[in-house]
Structure 1
């Protein structure tokens, strides 16, 4: 249940339906959901939604999983968020596990383009709502990029670090 819930939140976030603090934008979700499914279908499936009720099934389903949600309702959410059931369970997550490794992109470093970075942070861009990773190499090179981008592309260098600066000074002399 936790994995499915986490996937719901991730896909909602990808659609811009989660705040920076990780809360679901309930009004926007409700409006998109009821425009996706005809009212008659929701009624037929005993899954009508009263937005003003704090206990409506859609709000309950997207809170931390403490209650079991009817499988039909889970399918409704999955089909709303994903192309089909199969793709929902096969789509790769953009949320990285803490065991993930990323490449050092400092051309002056011996680890250049090697998957050696273990320390990174993920934040949300306030304008685009996309996930941005900031990566910290042992050579003190720090860069950021969109998480959906090619892992071998630097979006922005935040700090060049001692290794890069030493190499630059050597080339200048």
Structure 2
């Protein structure tokens, strides 16, 4: 006697077996039932390339405040990986114009998610050049505001880049 009840705790749960247990072959009728439940036709299931897009379709925006392409959709590709902790998707985005690179955790749930990042991976050469240029004429707090970062980050880059300019306070 087979049990066709679908419960998480049921050891004979055919739906779980079908998805996870590769050693067991389930009845093809159950595959058809599941396909119909998902609203898929055999043509769509077997002929269309269905991809998982946790960050939506590209292009994606550059989020470097000093880039001429700021918030414009210029990033064509995203490299997606899964978090080793919670298996959520992580997208790596790099602007082809300025080299600014950021990551964000997904998946996106609303339109505004496209314009946020979780962490900056690399500020890019253009950002660093702009930092040096702005430091010649502005105080660190003003530069930090213009660059979209904290004054601590600006001081860190001053040390890293060996900028020997006398800072305006």
Q: Normalising TM by the smaller chain, what interval?
A: 0.5 to 0.7
Matches within 5 A, 1:46-85: 54-57=23-26, 70-75=31-36, 78=38, 85=39
The yes-or-no answer on 1:168 pairing with 2:131 is: yes
What is residue 63 of structure 1 aligned with on the other side?
none
Deviations 1:135-157 (A, max 9, x none): 01111111000132401001110
The count of aligned residue pairs is 117
The yes-or-no answer on 1:94 pairing with 2:53 is: yes
Select the residue among 85, 89, 114 that pairs with 1:127: 85
What is residue 108 of structure 1 aligned with on the other side?
66
Contact 1:39 1:48 in 2 (8 A): no
Gaps in structure 2 of 5+ consecutive residues: 41-50, 137-169
The yes-or-no answer on 1:136 pairing with 2:94 is: yes
1:110 alignment partner, SS class:
coil
Bigger relative CO (Cα 8 Å, ≥ 6 apart): 1
What is residue 35 of structure 1 aligned with on the other side?
7
The yes-or-no answer on 1:151 pairing with 2:114 is: yes
Please give the TM-score of this superposition, normalised by the length of structure 1: 0.52
Please give the TM-score of this superposition, normalised by the length of structure 2: 0.53
**What value does the CA root-mean-square deviation take over the aligned residues?**
4.1
Greater C-alpha Rg:
2
Structure 1 119/39 Cα, relative in aligned 2: closer, same or farther at 3 Å?
Answer: closer
2:7 alignment partner, SS class:
helix
Distance of 1:116 and 1:133 partners within structure 2: 15
Contact 2:55 2:106 in 1 (8 A): no
